[in-house]
Chains A and B, each alone.
Chain A
């Protein structure tokens, strides 16, 4: 079949050449890890070139790789994953780029390519603290007004850091450090053998 994901995978690898750092074809899904420096031009090509035609940005999300495989992978910590969809060719691809700096991760914004990216980038900034260069309005979106920290980072505790209550003496809602303890009934275990032999 001309239109198969496998063929698209091969033609993408051919077209992008050295810009592809690693690539993966699994479960009929294409994953490309691309170079950060030329990402905007690459994405523009993928959107506009007739054979790719990825006109729709389905999803954009941040990932924090700090504890991946219990910390086996260090180096670059933050990544952004784009899911693109081509309505004409009925194809999907997944593109991942890693931010260079772990302390201040910064990635070019793609709001001028896909206007729908606006809120997705705000979300990734809010939850992971990833900055988007050239984003028109990079504010927090999901967390509370005046929230401190980036809650989806792996080093942010699941129970949070502050709790709120109404203080009748001060007649207002006040923030205090959390009083509950984190509880985890099922430990996280990595088994290399997976499910089938386990």
Chain B
């Protein structure tokens, strides 16, 4: 009788389904996976070490680059930890703006996940649809911060500036006729809030479109139902959070359980799965997008009727306005000190976490009283998820591995840090 041996296969780091730079060493028995050994760290940039050598304000842009598909949420966890240590209050309008942009970010993240996951499993169209909507949301990012992705918009004590009164419009160029420009600018006539409101009215229809393409699709179901099942007990033990945990039927959402900012005033549901397979996690994330849209609408309604400051008046932490700086000596000194030496955080330690689209994203800062953190630890949600890959793929076929990587919503920026 012929001897049958397992064989070892290398997957990635350059592979379209590896979501970046994931290298897997697979031990295969025919086409059935026996063991997966993920090799990570190919995108390791030592963000935590870099942050130890920079002032707090200088580290905020590094946070954008961690999970580069949900940029503002990363900043949010970081500034929340600083605010906790400094015991400063954030103005209510800034809290609403943060919640608004957190939910925009959640939709951005879930759209990329949906497109990439569907593309891995074999559906091309969803990817194109999802990127069409992402474009509008990037424009919102750009309108408030000037950057389409790496915004650095959240600052300790609030947000960098108030929402603009006028949504930037397309301008006539040699590539676009004035007629095309007119159609592109139809929903950009008012303020940024009008633009987001228009988007939030259109968005449920888009989610219906994606669902028409996937939810009852036979191929999609064959590829996801019963794949990568995680029991609730294992999900908790393995450190899973976010949709990975909720897909297994555990109702746990920091926005509800440990509310931060103004989430306690928001009306939304927490979608929970039942089976803990890839299909349930898909349904959870789809429902989350609809819930995020509801929260966005509530934020817009509040922001349109209320005004106020968007950053703390405490000039030891937040910069004074340009006008004050030009007229007032003390403000000028504050500005100079803030952007050269930076603010100091009294000795202590704190951990603050947000409900990131992928799970619990937290930062842990140890300060020894200096203008730089003594130690910054970033708790990335994807890290324990990827660690569980071996367990989730046990006994599955090689093609299912791709579906499981997709369902984990892997982004290497946060896993490797």
Cβ A152 vs Cβ B49 within 8 A: yes
B44 touches which of A143, A158, A195 (Cβ 8 Å): A143
Pick the interface stretch among A15-23, A24-32, A35-43: A24-32
Q: Does any Cβ of B come within 8 Å of A192's Cβ?
A: yes
A68 touches which of B50, B250, B362, B368 (Cβ 8 Å): B368
> Per DSSP, are chain A's interface residues mostly helix, strand or loop, or mixed?
loop
In this complex, the member of A87, A114, A194 whose beta carbon has the largest number of chain B beta carbons within 10 angstroms is A194
- Nearest-CB residue, chain A, relative to B252: A87
With A158-B53, A191-B344, A192-B369 known to touch, is A152 a contact of B48 (CB < 8 Å)? yes
Cβ B364 vs Cβ A26 within 8 A: no
Q: Does any Cβ of A come within 8 Å of B258's Cβ?
A: yes
Cβ B368 vs Cβ A69 within 8 A: yes
Inter-chain residue pair count (beta carbon < 8 A) = 134
Q: Does any Cβ of B come within 8 Å of A196's Cβ?
A: yes
- Minimum Cβ distance to chain A for residue B44 (Å): 5
Q: Does any Cβ of A come within 8 Å of B366's Cβ?
A: yes
The interface residues of chain B lying within 8 Å CB-to-CB of A55 are: 236-237
B351 touches which of A69, A83, A119, A198 (Cβ 8 Å): A83
Interface string of B368-379 (1 = CB under 8 A from A): 111110110101
Which range contains the number of A residues in contact with the other chain? Answer: 35 or more
The interface residues of chain B lying within 8 Å CB-to-CB of A152 are: 46, 48-49
Cβ A59 vs Cβ B368 within 8 A: no
Cβ B239 vs Cβ A58 within 8 A: yes
With A31-B349, A59-B364 known to touch, is A115 a contact of B237 (CB < 8 Å)? yes
A56 to B236, CA, bound (A): 6
Cβ A59 vs Cβ B362 within 8 A: yes
Q: Does any Cβ of A come within 8 Å of B238's Cβ?
A: yes
The interface residues of chain A lying within 8 Å CB-to-CB of B53 are: 158, 184, 188
User: In residues 353-386 of chain B, which contact A (Cβ within 8 Å)?
Assistant: 353, 360, 362, 364, 366, 368-372, 374-375, 377, 379, 383-384, 386
Cβ B239 vs Cβ A142 within 8 A: no
With A26-B348, A142-B44 known to touch, is A116 a contact of B237 (CB < 8 Å)? yes
Pick the interface stretch among B3-11, B99-107, B335-343: B335-343
Could you tell me how many residues of chain B have their Cβ less than 8 Å away from some Cβ of chain A?
61
Q: Does any Cβ of B come within 8 Å of A12's Cβ?
A: no
Interface string of A51-87 (1 = CB under 8 A from B): 0000111110101100111000000000001010001
Q: Does any Cβ of A come within 8 Å of B219's Cβ?
A: no
With A87-B236, A141-B40, A194-B346 known to touch, is A58 a contact of B360 (CB < 8 Å)? yes
State the 8 A-B residue pairs at the shortest beta-carbon distance, nearest first. Answer: A116-B239, A142-B41, A119-B387, A194-B346, A61-B377, A59-B379, A195-B316, A116-B238
List 7 additional contacts besides A29-B351, A141-B41; criterion CB under 8 Å: A27-B85, A83-B364, A90-B257, A158-B49, A186-B342, A190-B368, A194-B369
27 A-B residue pairings within 8 Å (CB atoms): A27-B87, A29-B349, A31-B349, A55-B237, A58-B360, A59-B362, A59-B364, A61-B364, A61-B375, A63-B366, A64-B375, A81-B364, A81-B377, A83-B362, A116-B240, A117-B239, A120-B384, A142-B416, A144-B41, A152-B46, A158-B50, A186-B372, A188-B370, A189-B344, A190-B369, A194-B346, A196-B316
